[in-house]
Amino acid sequence: MEHTTIRGKIRYTSRKKEMLDKDRGGETYIYTTHQDGSRVFRAHCSIDENEPRVLRDSVTTLDKDWTPRYGFVQITVDEAFVGSSWFRFTDTVAECEGFTVKEGRISQKMDLDVPPAIFGTHPIQADAMHCNIYPLENGPGQYRAPMHLMCSFHHRGADGPLLMQRRNTLVINYLGEEKVTVAAGTFDAHHFSYGTSTDDDYMGTDIHPPYHTWTTTDGDYVMLKAGCTGYMQTHYELVEYEKRTNYF
């Protein structure tokens, strides 16, 4: 079958003084684009810094317009199974079937008035792919999504996974093109950020600080580097990258 496969590995480190450049986890992923333009993204993620430590496996299927259609998420937190759920999305309905230790057997269904802009599952590469919703033809600026879905509102995705909805809260800023060099090579990049406030607004709070990400300009939105400022001081870098046709 004709398809294109991207394989990547992301290193998670810290910018905190006491942990500067130390490993705090990582992510490997396989990202397939089919002939009809649909995409399947599979990720294995590990956050090993302090509690809650999270091990996550996820799969997301997107149609040719990047609209999420299916998903699967399973998480382990601090060495214990927490939950596993399957998701399905149409333009008018979102569904979830799963089991979590906290909620037990779950079956959710939401009626939607607009298709979901994204389905957030917390891999760093998935965060980069969400930037596809920004209208690049408008140039640098800001875009606010009318509605998006998540499997967890926890900053690390350490609970659920459940079907959750937010409206008019996802803001993506486009800051323009740059040249970026990372361990995986040198690339032309789009520079995006999430949120509306400055670093100073977030200092000393538990609100998510500004989150910057640089992605490839080839339409795949491969994350090159990313990081959260403020109290988080997290850093992410693409250390391995491969793109091939008809390869598995």
pLDDT of residue 205: 44
- From the list 163, 171, 236, 226, the residue with the least C-alpha distance to 197 is 171
Whether residue 189 contacts residue 181, with contact meaning beta carbons closer than 8 Å, is answered with no
Residue 73 burial (CB count, 10 A): 27
> Containing domain of residue 27, as a range?
3-245
Q: How does strand 147-150 pair with strand 119-120?
A: parallel
- Rounded to an integer, the average pLDDT of 30-54 is 94
- From the list 75, 71, 72, the residue with the least C-alpha distance to 102 is 75
| Mean confidence (pLDDT) of the chain | 92
- pLDDT at residue 176 tops 60: yes
Total domains present in the chain: 1
- pLDDT at residue 236 tops 80: yes
As to burial, measured by CB atoms within 10 angstroms (0-12 exposed, 13-18 middle, 19+ buried), residue 225 is: buried
| Residue located via tokens 């997301």 | 60
pLDDT of residue 208: 61
pLDDT of residue 197: 64
pLDDT of residue 198: 60
The predicted-structure confidence for 179-234, as pLDDT tens digits, reads as follows 999 999 999 999 999 987 665 454 444 456 789 999 999 999 999 999 988 777 88
The predicted-structure confidence for 71-98, as pLDDT tens digits, reads as follows 999 999 999 999 999 999 999 999 999 9
The predicted-structure confidence for 143-174, as pLDDT tens digits, reads as follows 999 999 999 999 889 999 999 999 999 999 99
pLDDT of residue 34: 94
- From the list 85, 28, 82, the residue with the least C-alpha distance to 53 is 82
As to burial, measured by CB atoms within 10 angstroms (0-12 exposed, 13-18 middle, 19+ buried), residue 16 is: middle
Residue 158 contacts by C-beta under 8 Å, 6 or more apart in sequence? 52, 54, 75, 77, 82, 152
Q: What is the DSSP letter of 138?
A: G
